[in-house]
């Protein structure tokens, strides 16, 4: 590729990402206004995103009300599962896109009963490359790695591990059957993102889910009290003006 073509391409990509960030900011505003905490869940296909969401519902035991936005290239399979479990759920079919973007989320959010919810879990399209590049306006990025994917993934897909705040290591029930060097895996993660909060879990047996659910409740309640404190301060400022 000649250098002027490459420069134009970089400029176009920068413009797309900047337009996306503007809409992501408006999504964040919508969520905050409704008092809802948003989580963007990313992982490779089949890592267990939907299973983890359904197990989170069980582990929360009614402590938080949440809805789900399911991103897939096609089908409503995951949304059907979430609805069958009693969750409000909206499907986004991206057609050919390998990730969700802020516009897709902006179109989906009004279909959820946001004012009845504490939390929205967004299941991004199964992919270990693209989703990390597109902000959605959610508060937290969660990556799910799973044991059968192999212990070398942080070394091969570093971008995905760098932009996350939480790492779920799923399918730990398979550790006795699948070669997976946990020390090697965690060293790769540590180099890329030493501040990650890590939860090893099994979405099949439920092992580890209680620790995740307790942490999540604290996180969401903490955000709700910060947002309401900021609202009170802003109302106070207006009254004093
Ligand atoms: N043994 C085991 N299997 C699991 C676990 N979590 C999920 N699975 C299985 O892994 C497969 C994929 O799980 P899903 O939850 O559909 O994965 P996903 O990431 O949502 O998949 P896509 O939406 O298609 O990208 C299913 O057969 C699940 O039953 C786990 O912790 N242990
Ligand atoms: Mg799924």
Q: Is residue 238 part of a domain?
A: no
Q: Is residue 241 part of a domain?
A: no
Ligand 1 lined by 48 (C-beta under 6 Å): yes
- Going from the Cα of 48 to the center of ligand 2, the distance in angstroms, rounded, reads 7
Mutation pick for ligand 1 pocket among 46, 59, 74 (CB with most ligand atoms within 8 Å): 46
Q: Is residue 100 part of a domain?
A: yes
Query: Which pLDDT value is given to residue 11?
Result: 72
Q: Is residue 4 part of a domain?
A: no
Q: Is residue 240 part of a domain?
A: no
Query: Which pLDDT value is given to residue 2?
Result: 55
Nearest CA to ligand 1 atom 14: 48
Q: Is residue 232 part of a domain?
A: no
Q: Number of structural domains, the chain?
A: 1
Nearest CA to ligand 1 atom 11: 46
Query: Which pLDDT value is given to residue 38?
Result: 98
Mutation pick for ligand 1 pocket among 41, 42, 51 (CB with most ligand atoms within 8 Å): 51
Q: Is residue 163 part of a domain?
A: yes
Residue 158 is part of which domain span?
10-227
Query: Which pLDDT value is given to residue 224?
Result: 87
Query: Which pLDDT value is given to residue 240?
Result: 63
| CATH number for the domain harbouring residue 178 | 3.40.50.300
Q: Is residue 139 part of a domain?
A: yes
Nearest CA to ligand 1 atom 7: 48
Q: What is the pLDDT of residues 122-173, one digit of tens each?
A: 999 999 999 999 999 999 999 999 999 999 999 999 999 998 999 999 999 9
Ligand 1 lined by 43 (C-beta under 6 Å): yes
CB under 8 Å to 160, separation ≥6 — which residues?
42, 128, 129, 131, 132, 143
Between the alpha carbon of residue 69 and those of residues 29, 94, 106, 120, the distances in Å are 18, 12, 11, 7
Ligand 1 lined by 78 (C-beta under 6 Å): yes
Residues of the chain with pLDDT under 70: 1-4, 9-10, 13, 16, 229-235, 237-241
- Going from the Cα of 37 to the center of ligand 1, the distance in angstroms, rounded, reads 24
Ligand 1 lined by 130 (C-beta under 6 Å): no
């Amino acid at each position: 590729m000649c250098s002027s073509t490459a420069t134009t391409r970089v400029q176009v990509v920068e413009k797309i990402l900047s337009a996306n960030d503007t809409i992501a900011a408006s999504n964040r505003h919508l969520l905050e206004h409704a008092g809802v905490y948003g989580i963007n869940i990313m992982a490779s296909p089949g890592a267990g995103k939907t299973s983890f969401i359904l197990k989170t519902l069980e582990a929360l035991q009614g402590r938080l009300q949440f809805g789900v936005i399911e991103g897939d290239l096609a089908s409503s399979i995951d949304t059907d599962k979430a609805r069958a479990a009693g969750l409000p759920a909206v499907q986004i079919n991206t057609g050919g896109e390998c990730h969700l973007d802020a516009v897709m989320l902006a179109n989906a959010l009004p279909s959820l009963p946001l004012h009845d919810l504490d939390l929205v879990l967004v299941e991004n399209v199964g992919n270990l490359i693209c989703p990390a590049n597109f902000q959605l306006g959610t508060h937290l990025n969660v990556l799910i790695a799973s044991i059968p994917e192999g212990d070398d993934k942080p070394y091969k897909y570093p971008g995905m591990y760098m932009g996350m705040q939480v790492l779920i290591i799923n399918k730990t029930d398979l550790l006795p059957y699948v070669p997976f060097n946990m020390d090697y895996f965690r060293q790769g993660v540590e180099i890329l993102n030493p501040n990650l909060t890590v939860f090893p879990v099994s979405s099949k047996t439920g092992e580890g889910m209680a620790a995740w659910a307790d942490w999540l409740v604290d996180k969401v309640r903490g955000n709700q009290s910060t947002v309401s404190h900021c609202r009170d301060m802003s109302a106070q400022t207006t009254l004093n003006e």
